[in-house]
Structure 1
Amino acid sequence: MVADCERVQTSWFRTQADVLGGESWDDGALTWTDGPDGLNLMFPRELDTAAVRHGVQIALARGRSSVGVWLNTGVDASALRECGFERGWAIRWMAASLAAVVADGGDRDGRVELQTTTLDYEGEHADYGDRLRLTRQEPSVAWYAAAYNRPADVRPSDRPRRFAGRAWSFYDGGADGIAGVFDMEVWPRFRRRGLGTALLRTVCSAAREAGASRVVLNATEEGSLLYRSCGFTTIGEGITWWLHLNS
């Protein structure tokens, strides 16, 4: 099942890069993506020092500030150490049946909306809104939900609702029927109000309607408590490695 998680994560990074003006490519047995999450090497089965160094050279030529590697814990990482990478944060894989996460006939939470455009991002985060181009692809493969701290039908005289969090789901139509949940977060001041559960169920429902039957994600330690309450179980771990380059 961990291999399924790795496949979905790689497909998500590839899709983001290809749709949002980045690039993904294979260099022998290595799969690289250069997209909104930076330049990343995705779950190599084995590592060759020369091939890794070639990827670092590409990152330097493109002015990237770092290179990330997503790795199965069973893969020898000595080539990364030789190239100056440092061990990063752990990947905590969790999975669930979509039937367990999405309640049949349940009422939608009015504080959460599926969106294809957004005006919620500004300032240093303004570029994030461009990612919603992913939701406008045909056929649909990605869904974005935004959470607000007031119901969607607030009256004009009421205090405006405030942007409180977001989540994505992604399903590439793979024969395994597995979707992924990504970049899910409720801003700290709005937590413990049920918005995380509402976001999760909203994006999972969209993936289920598209034909997915199971869902996987990479959880933080804090987030894993929420996911367990929604039917997820821990199925394995991975590790990231990072090389920070001079700007």
Structure 2
Amino acid sequence: MITVTDCERVQANWFRMRAERLGGRVWTDGPLTWVDGPDGQNLLFPESIPPAEVARGVEHAARTGAPIVGAWLGLGVDASALAEAGFERGWSPWWMTAPIEAVLRAEPDPRIELRLDSDDYEGEYAAYREQLALAREEPPRAWYAAAYAPGRELAGHAWSFLDNGLAGVFDMAVWEEFQRRGFGSGLLRAVCAAAGAAGAAHAVLNATPDGKKLYRARGFTQIGEGITWWLHRRP
């Protein structure tokens, strides 16, 4: 049976791998594990949160200029030290899981492509292309899929990450002007199929209210809930 702990582990390992491979940093301070990577600085699923260690994490963000610091928690964790440090309670990740075979019941979408590189990202988004280096690692552990509207216009993207037999689905997004055209279902199927071919039996993800309807339609069920906290640092 897939548990919330499994979901948290997959996400923590995804954040950790991205930081380690893409020039970020991962460090442990007492019971806290911090990751400073493509998503900024994040505290990942601690069981306890001592104030002194939180203060040192905030100091690190100040030194590096991180504008936002995130903290991902289980609902039973005492977050008072975060509140005292200026963090504000944020959105609740809804942890969901599905058998890979259930996701693959949908037909493949020809508008979706698995890519190892991309020239879709330019200007202020140019740094995103660097993350596709993860899709080129051997043996494969991460897969990137892109959705294309007519004219090869990028409509959205998604990732999957293989971790101990589970496929974590991350950064799945369809740009607003292309929503409700089936791109989300196609992206989800593509990245789950890639991870399934590499040995994943189940997929896991955290859903927002906007995404939950899509995931339920594709065979996912909710197994738990978490909470996020955010510190918005002043320049």
Matched, 1:58 2:80: no
How much does 1:31 deviate? 0.9
- What's 1:85 paired with? 87
How much does 1:231 deviate? 0.1
- What's 2:201 paired with? 213
- What's 1:142 paired with? 142
Q: Which amino acid is the alignment partner of residue 173 of structure 2?
A: E
- Of stretches 60-69 and 198-207 in structure 1, the one that deviates more from structure 2 is 60-69
Please give the TM-score of this superposition, normalised by the length of structure 2: 0.96
How much does 1:108 deviate? 2.9
Within a 5 Å distance, the mapping from 1:5-154 to structure 2 comes to 5-103=7-105, 108-150=108-150
Within a 5 Å distance, the mapping from 1:181-192 to structure 2 comes to 181-192=169-180
* Identity percentage of aligned residues: 58
Structure 2 distance, partners of 1:70, 1:107, is 34
Q: 1:215-241: CA deviations, max 9, x gaps? A: 111111121111001000111111111
CA RMSD of aligned residues (A): 1.1
Q: Which amino acid is the alignment partner of residue 160 of structure 2?
A: S
Structure 1 distance, partners of 2:153, 2:223, is 35
How much does 1:246 deviate? 2.2
Say how many residue pairs are matched.
233
How much does 1:205 deviate? 0.2
Structure 1 distance, partners of 2:193, 2:12, is 22
Matched, 1:231 2:224: no
Structure 1 distance, partners of 2:181, 2:7, is 29
Structure 2 distance, partners of 1:81, 1:227, is 32
Structure 1 distance, partners of 2:183, 2:226, is 28
SS for the counterpart of 2:158 is strand
Structure 2 residue runs without a partner (length 5+): none
Structure 1 residue runs without a partner (length 5+): 151-159
Q: Which amino acid is the alignment partner of residue 21 of structure 2?
A: V
Please give the TM-score of this superposition, normalised by the length of structure 1: 0.91
- What's 1:198 paired with? 186
Q: 1:66-115: CA deviations, max 9, x gaps? A: 21100111101111111111111111111111111113xx7532100000
Matched, 1:168 2:164: no
